[in-house]
A = this chain, B = another copy of it.
Amino acid sequence: VARPVSGRIDRVSGFPEFLPEERLVEQGIIDQIRAQFELFGFTPIETRAVEPLDQLLRKGETDKEIYTIRRLQAEEAEQGELGLHFDLTVPLARYVAQHQGKLDFPFKRYQIQKSWRGERPQEGRYREFLQADIDVIDQGELALHFDAEMVVVLHQVMEALPFPPVVLRVNNRKIFDGFAQGMGRSEVDEVIRTLDKLDKIGPDGVAGALTGLGVGAAELERWMALALIESPDDSFRRDVKALGVEHPLLDEGLDELAFVMRAVSHLPPGRVLASLGIARGFDYYTGTVFEGQMEGHESLGSVCSGGRYDDLVGGEGGHRLPGVGASIGVTRILVRLLNRGELPVAAKTPTVVVVALPSEEERAGAEAVARSLRARGIATEVFHEPARYGKQIRYASRKGIPYVWFPATGGEGHSVRDIRSGDQLTADPGSWGPPVP
């Protein structure tokens, strides 16, 4: 029963809110994400909404987007200034640094929480948004196993949800670095950021921009050829090798990507692709990178993404803390699909049964029926006042509650009506349950 939802609340621009029937959908989706994360052994944490402003500002580029908080009646500078977190990675880094001695490594955590960014609201970008993140952090070295696991978990989550299919594209930043070094180029960041625009400005646009960076014709041809390689398995290796560039770091990147692709070979064809143009250029990744697009919603950009980073904490304390993580943009996906009527929205309440209240005298009996149903896990309301049955049935109908229970009166036994079909059957409050379809 998909239907478009017209009335999304957005009076404070960029802070989306859902109606009850939409929130029920969102909650179901969060539950499923969580269940999948836990099936893979990720453990939940929740961090406070605020971090010290200096921590938030360590990523220099994002300072415009931070919300600071302050007490309305605060004395000046009563404590270190605080800001709302703008992602779940900065809080994770702080949490891990703070608790390193109490955590067990490799530390696999998930975190499904709101973040806040003061950026200009537009479709797909909100000032308050929910993300679902997983990361694995280890001390010293982190096994490549987890890079592959990230991709598998993302696939499993997306597959479990009532979303259009998601195609995951995987690459490895070492391939870019090794490819560049193999051609004698030492600086690769600008090239990567340019290649990252392939989706937006097309091959000609990228070629022009690379030429503008001083990339010569022969090198340009190889970069463009590399960026267009895509394969559903580890055959990308042959195509890269055919470009004639050699470097140990390139081989390392190819090996790592091949490891990941072999680990996903059991997944349905076409859902995970090795895609040598994927760069995640503005993120801080050092190895595996990946991103997912939703079929029919490519204009949204990535709906999930992630990758490997060398050190979560960056030099604090003795241990290097390498990690790999993935993030799902829950709000971005849900607002789009709800607004387009592409997610089934059904009842306005979790209630399964309304027990009708024929008269004030029968209240205790109606409540006893409800207790009996609730004891078996059936969400039940007693109608709040004696009223004509028509009114009580209309209440259930308006909220999308499927069953109305009529308590035993006089000579008649209990009965329950499926108000969708109109069928009414006698029923025992101690054993009845909604028929399993």
B-contacting residues of A (Cβ < 8 Å)?
7, 9, 11-13, 15-20, 23-24, 26-27, 38-50, 52-53, 63-74, 79, 82-84, 95, 98-99, 102-104, 106, 108-109, 114, 116, 118, 128, 143, 145-146, 263, 266, 348-351, 354, 367-368, 371, 374, 377-382, 384-385, 395, 398-399
Contacts and interface: CB of A to CB of B under 8 A. Distances in A.
Identical copies in the complex: 2
A71 B82 contact: no
Q: Give the secondary structure class of A's interface.
A: mixed
29 contacts: A7-B99, A19-B99, A20-B44, A20-B103, A23-B46, A24-B44, A39-B379, A40-B374, A41-B349, A42-B350, A53-B72, A63-B73, A64-B71, A66-B71, A67-B69, A67-B70, A67-B72, A68-B69, A68-B71, A68-B72, A69-B69, A69-B84, A70-B70, A73-B118, A74-B118, A108-B349, A108-B381, A143-B385, A266-B371
Contact of A384 (B23, B145, B380): B145
B72 A39 contact: no
Contact of A70 (B45, B68, B74, B398): B68
Nearest to A16: B48
Q: Which of A24, A52, A95, A102 has the most CB of B within 10 A?
A: A102
Contacts of A104: 348, 395, 398-399
A15 B47 CA distance: 9
Nearest to A103: B20
Given A11-B98, A104-B348, A41 B72 contact: no
Nearest to A400: B104
A143 B384 contact: yes
Contacts of A68: 69-72
Contact of A43 (B24, B72, B99, B384): B24
A41 B118 contact: no
A137 B399 CA distance: 15
Given A23-B46, A49-B116, A40 B381 contact: yes
A79 to B, nearest CB: 8
A128 B378 CA distance: 34
Contacts of A74: 118
B50 A367 contact: no
Nearest to A101: B7
A46 B46 CA distance: 17
A52 B67 CA distance: 15
B70 A20 contact: no
A299 to B, nearest CB: 25
Contacts of A108: 349, 381
A274 to B, nearest CB: 18
Contacts of A374: 39-40
Which 3 residue pairs are nearest across A and B when measured between Cβ atoms?
A71-B118, A41-B381, A41-B351
A351 to B, nearest CB: 4
A254 to B, nearest CB: 18
A260 to B, nearest CB: 13
A119 B290 CA distance: 43
Given A67-B69, A74-B118, 18 more contacts: A9-B99, A12-B82, A15-B48, A17-B46, A23-B46, A38-B379, A39-B374, A40-B379, A41-B354, A42-B350, A43-B350, A43-B351, A50-B128, A65-B72, A66-B72, A104-B398, A143-B384, A266-B368
Contacts of A71: 64-68, 118
Contacts of A39: 374, 377-380
